Each structure stands twice: as structure tokens, then as C-alpha cells.
Amino acid sequence: MSPPTYPALSYELYPPRNAEAEDSLWTTIRRLEGTRPDFVSVTYGAAGSNQETAIDLLRRLLTETTLKPLAHLTCVGTSRADLTEIVDRLIGGGVRGILALRGDAPEGRESRPGDVEHADELVRLIREVEAQRVAQLAAGKVSVGVAAYATRHPDSPSFDQDIEVLLAKEVAGADFAITQVFFQASDYSRLVTRARQAGVTIPIIPGVMPMTSTRRLKKLSGLAGIDVDEALWGRLEGARTDEERRRIGVEATVDLARAALDDGAPGLHLYTFNEHSAALDVLDALELERPPEAGLAASM
């Protein structure tokens, strides 16, 4: 009899900007830890703007919690030598999961000769550093994730290019992909179908944002260049109380997540914005089956 399989569960956190934010983040971390996620990811400012706070959070997650951290790493505006050093530092510090990203160049920052330009190149670099480190430290394998897009990336000429790029990242050595936020289940479904047709075999985990804050939805959809569903937007804006808005947002998020899971998604990655309550409301309503014991890391 084959063992039961459970959907993977993970959360995104970002490094705190001050001491007050750090306290509130740690309340969130403890609440999320109770749901036994497979990993929690820690974002990284493009061009390394918050490198030390990110590394400190990763260190604390490794030493003070039962959680497995996935370190985001961006390559934009960064040389091969600097990236090699940071990957070496992450692996040396015990991190065994890295999300290899390009990032978006800060305004006015041009790339210089020798900078790593795209995520597929960063995946290759991580694999090279890993090969040296594994021999030195007898360290375990590093899981490498990459970004995927259910709607066209704003810099891409076409959705087809995004699919080719995803395949290139897998060929470079990626183990799994996490999607950018999306607001239509059919977009996730189309991404997976087209990726499989193109030969992509790695798991493509849907990244889902609890849609409870109109301010945040507006900001993120602007940044990612994705339109929020108009009907949902109208219902959120028309809510008479915060409680009503929250209920509408949680219901819409649950519907989106459930549709992706019903469509065969291997799990869910929840964008928490360092707040646990909306993420936990979504999880409660989803009644996601979780393994009885901690640590069923899908690929880490």
C-alpha cells in the first residue's frame, strides 16, 4: 500500500524592518509553526538591500524553531563573485533551500559586466557552489526553487517565453517552482498545462495571497502587473465593515486555493505579509489535510 500523500504547505515571510515588526513577526512565526508547514520562505531585497536582516532571520529560524527555511536570493545587480560568497554563506550556515530569482533592478541601477542577469544562470551558480560545499561539509542536497508566472511576466514579450524560461530553469537544475500571485484559477491551470506540454516536469506550487486587504491587493497587483478580478474588487470595496471585507476575502481565497488543489496543485504557498490571522483563516476553511508528524518537506 502506498503511503498517503498530503498537499505541501508553505508560507512567505519578509525580514522585519524594525524591532517592533520583529516582535510581531515572531508571534506570526510561532502561530504558523503550529500548522507544521513544509517550509517557510524568507524574501530578499533586490541587489541585497536587506541581506543581513534576511540572513539573521534565516539563522534564527534554523536555530530557534522546527521550521525549514527557504532563502530567496536575487541576482540582479550582483556579481558572480558576490553571489558565490552569499550562496556559500547560506549553505555553510545550514540553509538547504534557496529560491533563485532575478529580482527587479532598483531605479537607475544598470547591470555591470560580470553581473548574473537571469534566474537560470543563478540556479547554475547555486549548483556549482553546492557541488563544492557538499564535498567539503558532507552537507545534504540543496533544494532549488524558481519563480513561475500564471499570467505573463511584465518584462516578457509573451506567455510562451515565460514557459520556455521556466523550462530553462528546470534544465539548469531547479527542483520546483512557486508562482507569482494570480486571481483566476484558470490562469494557474493554463500555466501547468502549457508547462507540461513544453516538457517541464518539476512541481509548480501555486502562490496564493489572502485577499483580505484592498490596499495590499492594489499594491501587489500593480507591482506584479496583474489585474484583480473586478467582481471581487467591487465586493471588497462595497463591504460595510472590516469583518465583512475579511469574510469576503477569505472566501474568495479559499475558492481560488481549492480550485488549484482540485486541479492537481502539489500544495499551497501562502503569501502572509508577516501576518498569521488571514493565512490561518484560509487554512481553517480549506480543511487542508496535514501529515500527523512534522517535516514532510516535499522537496527539501
Per-residue binding letters, 164-193, with ligand FAD (x by CB under 6 A): -x------------x-x-------------
* Backbone torsions φ then ψ of 11, nearest 5 degrees: -130, 150
Task: Give the nearest distance from C-beta 27 to ligand FAD in angstroms.
Answer: 22
96 or 153: CB nearest ligand FAD:
153
Tell me whether residue 110 is one of the annotated catalytic residues: no
**Measured at the alpha carbon of residue 204, what is the angle toward residues 200 and 208, in degrees to the nearest 5?**
155
Sequential DSSP letters for 158-179: -HHHHHHHHHHHHHHT--EEEE
What is the Cα–Cα distance from 298 to 300, expressed in whole angstroms?
Answer: 6
Residue 145 bridge partners (DSSP): 99, 176
155 near ligand FAD, judged by CB under 6 A: yes
Q: Does 56 bind ligand FAD (CB under 6 A)?
A: no
Q: How far is the CB of 44 from ligand FAD (least distance, A)?
A: 4
* Beta-carbon-side half-sphere exposure of residue 170 (alpha carbons within 13 Å): 19
Binds ligand FAD (CB under 6 A): choice among 59, 60, 118, 216 = 118
Which residue's Cβ has the minimum distance to ligand FAD? 102
Shorter beta-carbon distance to ligand FAD: residue 246 or 274: 274
Minimum Å gap between C-beta 262 and ligand FAD is 22
Give least dist CB 2 to ligand FAD, A. Answer: 30
Q: How many whole angstroms separate alpha carbon 214 and alpha carbon 232?
A: 10
Side-chain half-sphere CA neighbours of 6 within 13 A = 18
Distance of CA 177 to the CA centre of its chain: 8
Cα radius of gyration rounded to whole Å, the chain: 19
Of positions 104, 229, 251, 255, contacts ligand FAD by CB under 6 A: 104
By CB under 6 A, name the binding residues for ligand FAD: 43-44, 46, 72, 74, 99, 101-104, 118-120, 147, 153, 155-156, 161-162, 165, 178, 180, 207
Tell me the catalytic residues.
12
